[in-house]
Amino acid sequence: MDYQSLAKEIIESVGGKKNIISLVHCATRLRFKLVNPELAETERLKTLDEVIAVVDSGGQFQVVIGNQVGDVYQAIMSFSNIGLEADEANEIKPEIAEKKSTLLARLIDIVSGIFTPFIGVMAASGIMKGLLALAVACHLLNTESGTYQIWYAASDALFFFFPLFIGYTAGQKFGGTPFITMVIGGALTHPLMIKAFEASQTGEIAEHFLGIPVVFINYSSSVIPIILASWVSCAIEKRIRPLLPLAVRSFFTPVICLATVVPLTFLGIGPLATWLSHLLAEGYEVIYRFAPWLAGAALGAAWQICVIFGLHWGLVPLIFNNLVVFGQDSMLPMILPAVMGQIGAVLGIFFYTKDPRQKALAGSSFSAGIFGVTEPAIYGLTLPLRRPFIIGCIAGSLGGAIVGFVGTHTYSFGLANIFTLIQIIPPSGIDSTVWGAFIGNAVAVLVGCLGTYFWGRRTQLTELAPVVDIAISNAVSTTESSLPTHITASEKTITLLSPMTGQVIAMADIPDPTFAGGLLGQGIAILPNKGEVHAPFSGTVESLFVTKHALGLRSEQGVEVLIHVGIDTVKLAGEPFTLHVAEGDQITAGDLLLTFNCQAITDAGLSLVTPILVTNSDDFSTVECVADSEVTEQQPLLIITA
């Protein structure tokens, strides 16, 4: 993959460098914050083979890439002057940020911006903790051994010094100097402060700051105190920095921030944030204890819907907060079945599809899904096919209800993936909550797989009427006696007529990789010698493009067809095209649907090759071309076998 070319194309498609305020990435997505989101060319991005989907949600313009997102991110960042400082961007378009940003959008943007830079090492640390717990439970290691303690230090370092890492990324996110906020995080976890906390627990004399009593709290692994402290520090920095002389600005700014914010954090921000943390955790526990199975069912059903819009980051602080306050979390185990439900749905598609491309995509999506990356499965398969996505959510809900009912918890943070099953092992060893989690996730996979295999096809083959030949004209009766002798109802075949006259082009020879690769379905192409498109069957006009260059049709038997006149003709903005039907119209084989000016298209330097694709071809056994090298409109073009 040419990452540099892709990076350049993405930058141009989001409105150029000057339209980018900031950019971070998570496991699968580039998350842009744009000065003016309206400048982004969403449709242009979607045409890129490497882009799975584009989502504008949560105050972020998200470009879903998949497993290569890290390499693409590095390629984008290799370009100089990417993005503007937040205050500079607001000077350009302050009204846009105000109009587009809601409270929820700002919250999601802040959370994802703070946590995504180190999500990979967070997941790795959680997996290591889970593996160590498994090793202890299986008596392979004991907690007193040097081997265990060194590996435990490696797995726990991030979480113990969490305020330092969050301080750095929060400083970046809030537009301040990240090393200042990182030092504030270091102060919260300094050995002297931890020693003072331990002394206060034993009832020794309380400490004071300038005569004000200090309530010492152990801030190791905490989240909310350092985020609030970083926000205050960045706000102070932005106000005092311009007021200081240039000669002393670089070191007096940190002096003022550290001298004021660190004491303020220990005196007020920290205790207040800790109180809020406990209040939030207790509030969640009240809901969870009321009906754990209901909480699991809701999370299992809704998690992947949140993933689609990038809203799942809003729950990440709750998971961390539960781990800090209680030392365990019940939310992550209930989310895992949602992932497993989509994995099961992809597995069902893998087993039933006869399309080699779709089978390969299902296999790769399954592999990514077991490690918690479900975007390729969602955007590439289950969501476009609709029913598999719904079945996957139902499966996740059933599995989540079981996990919630048995009371499973995790004891370290991680992504919801196969390794979560080792992070649920309690310090006391494997118990019924662990086996309940295995059962719940197994149910999610099985329901997702079997439900998709038997009921997940977008158009069920059993719903197809006894196969009829639609190679008929308006003047011919539609009785079975009129069917050509080579097609009978018992063969369960459908004939798609040629919508135009011209030269037949093999699918592999279409001068566009998206069409040629079968990403939109199987079929054929025609190089027309006359600017007319006629109905290839009797049915309905399902969709019309604003630029009039393409039509989506659906036959009475459920065959869905895309007729795309020319390659890249969307650029012509509809000028050479004239529609003769409207969306929702009933059509009969042979009806004139569209006319176009062949000369105008070729004069624009564009190809007239017209792909004719069965977009739900995975619902059928075969889609076979029966035309010769030349075809006339209303002659048999494709034979579709159920």
Lowest mean pLDDT: which of 103-107, 287-291, 478-482, 497-501?
478-482
403 pLDDT band, cuts 50/70/90, is very high
Residue 486 a catalytic site member: no
321: which DSSP letter?
A: H
Structure confidence by residue, pLDDT tens digits, 154-179: 988 888 888 898 899 899 888 888 89
- Distance in angstroms (rounded) separating the CA atoms of residues 321 and 111: 13
Does residue 457 carry a pLDDT above 90? no
Identify the weakest region by mean pLDDT among 131-145, 147-161, 304-318, 453-467.
453-467
Q: How far apart are CA 438 and CA 337, in angstroms?
A: 10
Q: Do residues 397 and 391 make contact, with C-beta atoms less than 8 angstroms apart? A: no
pLDDT of residue 497: 92
- Binned at pLDDT 50, 70 and 90, residue 566 comes out as very high
Give the pLDDT mean for 381-399.
88
User: Comparing 17 with 198, which gets the higher pLDDT?
Assistant: 17
* For the chain, percent of residues with pLDDT exceeding 70: 86
In the chain, the amino acid numbered 118 is F
Please tell me the predicted confidence (pLDDT) of residue 67: 65
Average pLDDT of the residues of the chain: 80
| Cross-strand pairs, 54 | 63
- Distance, CA of 614 to CA of 354 (rounded, Å): 14
Question: CA 479 from chain center: how many Å?
Answer: 49
pLDDT of the residue at 217:
79
Task: Give the per-residue SS3 of 79-146.
Answer: CCCCCCCHHHHHHHCHHHHHHHCCHHHHHHHHHHHHHHHHHHHHHHHHHHHHHHHHHHHCCCCCCCCH
Q: For 53, phi and psi rounded to 5 degrees?
A: -165, 165
Using CA atoms, how far apart are residues 127 and 120, in angstroms rounded to an integer? 11
Catalytic annotation, pick one of 26, 257, 449, 625 = 26
Which pLDDT score, from 0 to 100, does residue 58 have?
Answer: 60
Sheet holding 577-579, edge to edge: 532-534, 592-596, 577-579
Q: So what's the pLDDT on residue 232?
A: 93
Determine contact, residues 166/118, Cβ cutoff 8 Å.
no
For residue range 486-542, what is the model confidence (pLDDT) as tens digits? 333 334 678 899 999 999 998 888 888 778 877 778 899 999 998 999 999 999 998
The whole-number pLDDT of residue 417 equals 82
Q: Is pLDDT larger for residue 449 or for residue 50? A: 449
Check residues 489 and 315 and name the one with the higher pLDDT: 315
Give the residue, 212 or 201, on which the prediction is more confident.
212
- Between the alpha carbon of residue 378 and those of residues 9, 131, 151, 383, the distances in Å are 24, 29, 36, 5
Q: Is the pLDDT of residue 474 over 60?
A: no
Tell me what pLDDT residue 414 has: 73
Query: Residues 409, 534, 549, 564: which is the catalytic one?
Result: 564
Q: For residue 416, what is the DSSP state?
A: S
Q: What angle do CA 322, 324, 326 make, to 5 degrees?
A: 60
Instruction: Say whether 625 is catalytic.
Output: no
> Which pLDDT tens digit goes with each residue over 27-37?
677 888 888 88
pTM over 0.85: no
Q: Check residue 231 and report its DSSP letter.
A: H
